Chain A
């Protein structure tokens, strides 16, 4: 796949192209080396400047960046010995949600997450990360497995939303999501939730209830995708940018509102510019919080989780 730059990344790409053409230049003398090095510094400063000033809408674009790492990348870079477990035991195996057993720093865990897919073919088979009821039911089956064997759960959220289709309705999308919310609130093992890209509506929340909720710096999380919100509230889906700004759906705002517990910094210029680094930052977040949560007795853990869930609200005191 050819590398794609976002509109506001253009100045970065211009400089990177310049370096490329300098490298292609045959007379590879000292002055060329110097120019490349000074351009590299420029790129670093420019990237920093651009990313520090991102608007909410630009963050939405980063969250959806075509090169943004996916759950499958994080599985590879954060965990070892991954055994994918398939199927909901009821109807099918939804590829928009992947899950299974893995090891994290040598200890077994259950991991579950949305996968949008990479190649065109892969994207289609994964329905662009939009799960049908089977995906949520597979997730709940794996959560129960985790509970049965006392394994902590780590979920990775990256979905535009649950899939709106005729079959989704026939097979009870509402019930599948609702059941997960209910189950997760009382599950007797620690649950760590990480929003890595798009946290779109009930389709995100359905694997998003837990003891510690973190968001990557340029990820987003909202009641509906900006397009859906615009279409519902403005009755005009071209108002997605306005909707995104109004929903204040970026990690920083949501941390300030107390709706999430932490923001994980991304590498300079976003996770897509350094998947390995992004993975190690996420791994640290998981490590710190798993250690902390494992110290808490199960009854207390569940009571604390219940209180956390109950604390979410925007009500006049």
Chain B
């Protein structure tokens, strides 16, 4: 068992990933905050980790940015980066799934909606998986599930903590039941991690819905959310259509989740790395 996954990730281990960051936010010297409408100076915004200096709004950022904010010197080795989807269903809606995949690859220059890496966080060995929302809405198909499981297995092998930063629309419709079963797959892997007494820190970022919320994202030993992240099982539109009442203010936001006992804490982006580091130092003393 251990051997089979190890062989799978071995080829990519030698590859050191350190490239220029592709900006997930609109480029240009001046940008408008989507929340307070303040016009912001691009370099200031970048220096502030894409948190609006005026209102504190946490702007959505891409996976590589996330990694650079959490991993020391942005130096890491990628796990299972070469995996490719096999479109067993030959799924076609208004467009072929295969085309959707290749378009996403071209547009954002990532191969899938999850990146798994091994690196250091404040000098501690960690394995980190980060969802890329711009890749088909961060949806979880077979490759995302596999990369997640490989990352967990790698953390078990290295006996180090596992962190996941999630942002996802949910399961990937185009893989139907293959995709649904990634929920049980990722959850089973996390159950194994727990049996090895290795901590899983789940970081919830805007937005997380459906199959990703209802599996790996809510299974953290510690669940941490960024401020005002929207996290839920069913989307607000679906709920409104079902119950036919207006949803309360702040519904499914981090603060709502905290109030209802679903997360441990809300942490600002700028404090996230140190907070995770502190938690790990208490849960993982080995």
Residues on A lying within 8 angstroms of B by beta carbon are 162-166, 168-175, 177-179, 181-186, 201-202, 205-206, 208-209, 221-224, 228-229, 232-234, 242-243, 246-249, 254, 257, 259, 306-307, 309-310, 312-317
Least CB distance, B210 to chain A, in whole angstroms: 7
Per-residue interface assignment for chain B, residues 171 to 183, with 1 indicating a CB less than 8 Å from any chain A CB and 0 otherwise: 1111111111111
Chain B residues with CB under 8 Å of A248's CB are: 89, 176
B residues in contact with A206, CB < 8 Å = 214
Contact B233 A169 (CB under 8 A): yes
Q: Decide: A178 near B175, CB < 8 A? Known: A169-B252, A315-B85.
A: no
Contacts A169-B251, A182-B219; is A223 near B234 (CB within 8 Å)? Answer: no
Smallest CB-CB A-B distances: 10 pairs: A164-B234, A185-B188, A181-B187, A313-B142, A312-B181, A173-B233, A247-B176, A174-B213, A177-B214, A223-B180
Q: Please determine whether A224 and B187 come into contact, CB atoms closer than 8 angstroms.
A: no
B86 within 8 A of A: yes
Q: Which of B162-219 contact A (CB under 8 A)?
A: 171-185, 187-192, 195, 210-211, 213-219
Cβ distance A183 to chain B, nearest Cβ, rounded Å: 8
Q: Indicate if B247 sits at the interface (CB-CB under 8 A).
A: yes
**Which chain A positions have C-beta within 8 A of B86?**
314-317
Does B29 count as interface, using CB distance less than 8 angstroms? no
At the interface, yes or no: B245 with Cβ under 8 Å from chain A?
A: yes
Q: Is B145 an interface residue (CB 8 A)?
A: yes
Q: Report 13 cross-chain contacts, Cβ distance below 8 Å, ordered by A residue.
A: A164-B233, A164-B238, A166-B251, A178-B187, A181-B184, A201-B211, A202-B233, A222-B180, A228-B238, A229-B173, A233-B174, A247-B173, A312-B178
- Which A residues are in CB contact (< 8 Å) with B51? none
Number of B interface residues in the complex (CB < 8 A): 67
Contact across chains for B233 and A168 when beta carbons are under 8 A apart: yes
Give the residues in chain A near B89, CB-CB below 8 Å: 246-248, 314
Query: How near does chain B come to A91, taking the closest CB pair, in angstroms?
Result: 12
Contact with A along B241-258 (1 / 0, CB 8 A): 011010110011000100
B36 within 8 A of A: no
Bound complex: CA A138 to CA B94 (Å): 40
What's the nearest-Cβ distance from chain A to residue B141, in Å? 7
List the interface of chain B (C-beta within 8 A of A): 1, 83-89, 91-94, 141-143, 145-146, 149, 171-185, 187-192, 195, 210-211, 213-219, 231-235, 238-239, 242-243, 245, 247-248, 251-252, 256, 260-262
A247 to chain B, nearest CB (A): 4
| Cβ-defined partner of B181 (8 Å) among A170, A175, A259 | A259
Residue of B with least CB distance to A130: B242
Task: Determine if A182 and B262 form an interchain contact, defined as CB atoms under 8 angstroms apart.
Answer: no
Question: Would you call B175 and A314 a contact (CB within 8 A)?
Answer: yes
Shortest CB-to-CB span from A233 to chain B, Å, is 5
Please state if B187 and A182 are interface contacts (CB–CB under 8 Å): yes
Closest Cβ of chain A: how far from B89's Cβ, in Å? 5
What CA separation (Å) do A306 and B261 show in the bound complex?
30
How far in angstroms is the closest Cβ of chain B from A251?
Answer: 11
A166 touching B173 by the CB < 8 A rule? no
B180 near A172 with CB under 8 A, answer: no
Contact for A174 among B92, B184, B233, CB less than 8 A: B233
Could you tell me the distance in whole angstroms from the C-beta of A163 to the nearest C-beta in chain B?
8
Chain A contacts of B192 at CB under 8 A? Answer: 186, 306
In the assembled complex, the Cα of A206 lies from the Cα of B182 at a distance in Å of: 13
A174 near B185: Cβ-Cβ < 8 Å: no
- CB contacts (< 8 Å) of A315 on chain B: these are 83-86, 142-143, 146
Docked pose: A247 CA to B91 CA in angstroms: 7
- Minimum C-beta distance from B48 to chain A (A): 30
Given contacts A248-B89, A314-B88, whether A174 and B177 have CB atoms under 8 Å apart is: no
In contact, B248 and A182 (Cβ under 8 angstroms): no
CB-based contact A171/B93 at 8 Å: no
Evaluate contact between A249 and B177: CB separation under 8 angstroms. Answer: yes
Q: Is the CB of A205 within 8 A of B180?
A: yes
Pair B178/A166 contact, Cβ less than 8 Å = no
CA distance A168 to B251 in the complex (A): 12
Least distance between B265 CB and chain A CB atoms (Å): 16
Q: B189 to chain A: which residues have CB within 8 Å?
A: 310
C-alpha gap A171/B218 in the complex (Å): 13
Let me know if A313 and B242 touch, CB within 8 A. Answer: no
Beyond A257-B177, A313-B146, is A234–B85 a contact (Cβ under 8 Å)? no
Q: Which B residues are CB-close (under 8 A) to A317?
A: 86
Among residues of B, the one whose C-beta sits closest to the C-beta of A164 is: B234
The reply to whether B181 and A306 contact each other, CB–CB distance below 8 Å, is: no
Residues of A within 8 A of B252 (CB): 169
B248 and A166 contacting across the interface, CB-CB below 8 Å: yes
Known: A223-B173, A312-B178, A316-B84. A166 touches B184 (CB 8 A): no
Q: Across the interface, which residues of A come within 8 angstroms of B242, CB to CB? A: 163-165
Cα separation A58 to B214 with both chains bound (whole Å):
30
A172 CA / B259 CA spacing, docked (Å): 11
Which residues on A sit within 8 Å (CB–CB) of B175? 223, 314
Contacts A182-B191, A205-B183, A310-B149 given: A259-B177 contact, CB under 8 Å?
A: yes
